[in-house]
Amino acid sequence: MNRVLFQSNFYVKFKAPNSQELIDYIESIDDSLINNQIFNWGKMCSSDKIALKSQELMKFISPNINELYERLKSKFFYNLYDPWLNLYKRKDFQEIHAHHPCHLSSVFFANDGEGFSKFYFSDRHSNDIHPKLGKLIGYKPINVVEYNRGDILFFPSYLLHGITPHNSDTIRKTLSFNFDILD
Ligand SMILES: [Fe+2]
């Protein structure tokens, strides 16, 4: 009997119930709104960002939180932080990072295609395991999350993750947001 001990490393991914509505909204946002300089992160990555307002996004996000309730079999109140749009040109990428100290983070994938960047998680404890033991158990320090256009991903904000270099001339678009669970 083999058992994984702790549930702290997890993600939830599903097709957004309002995926086309979200895609249409994202496609309606003009590139002239790119405002990378207002973000206090992003010095180590190459991507464009557009800041959005959580009040405007609530109607798009809440159906997905409702679906998350179903998947987690638990409801909660939450505080949504302002979302933002990520735009990846060819060769853009994002270095490994986390969204600490938020509680949960989310990414909505507005498009996909040949050569598109991959989203991956990186185990922050990867140096703890001896290479010989790692080989024995087939340990992987990196886990790529496959996604399709219209998928939404939720994960604990402390999980390290990154985006591989984008190898397409189609701009890769994702919507990201963080939220805290309230008492
Ligand atoms: Fe991130």
Q: How far is the CA of 131 from the centre of ligand 1 (A)?
A: 28
Q: How far is the CA of 7 from the centre of ligand 1 (A)?
A: 20
Alpha-carbon gap, residue 76 to 65, rounded angstroms: 9
Mean pLDDT (the chain) is: 96
* 100-118 pLDDT tens trace: 999 999 999 999 999 999 9
In this structure, which amino acid lies at residue 47?
Answer: S
Q: Establish if 51 belongs to a structural domain.
A: yes
Whole-model pTM: value is: 0.96
Average pLDDT of the segment spanning 121-139: 96
Q: Establish if 124 belongs to a structural domain.
A: yes
Q: What domain count does the chain have?
A: 1
Q: How far is the CA of 162 from the centre of ligand 1 (A)?
A: 7
Q: Establish if 2 belongs to a structural domain.
A: no
Which domain covers residue 55, as residue numbers? Answer: 12-182
Q: Establish if 18 belongs to a structural domain.
A: yes
Comparing 128 with 183, which gets the higher pLDDT?
Answer: 128
The residue behind tokens 């507005």 is: 110
Q: How far is the CA of 47 from the centre of ligand 1 (A)?
A: 12
* 159-178 pLDDT tens trace: 999 999 999 999 999 999 99
Q: Look up the CATH number of the domain holding residue 47.
A: 2.60.120.620
Alpha-carbon gap, residue 61 to 43, rounded angstroms: 28
Q: How far is the CA of 5 from the centre of ligand 1 (A)?
A: 26
Count of residues in the chain: 183
The residue behind tokens 């809440």 is: 62
Q: How far is the CA of 157 from the centre of ligand 1 (A)?
A: 8
Q: How far is the CA of 99 from the centre of ligand 1 (A)?
A: 6
Q: Establish if 3 belongs to a structural domain.
A: no
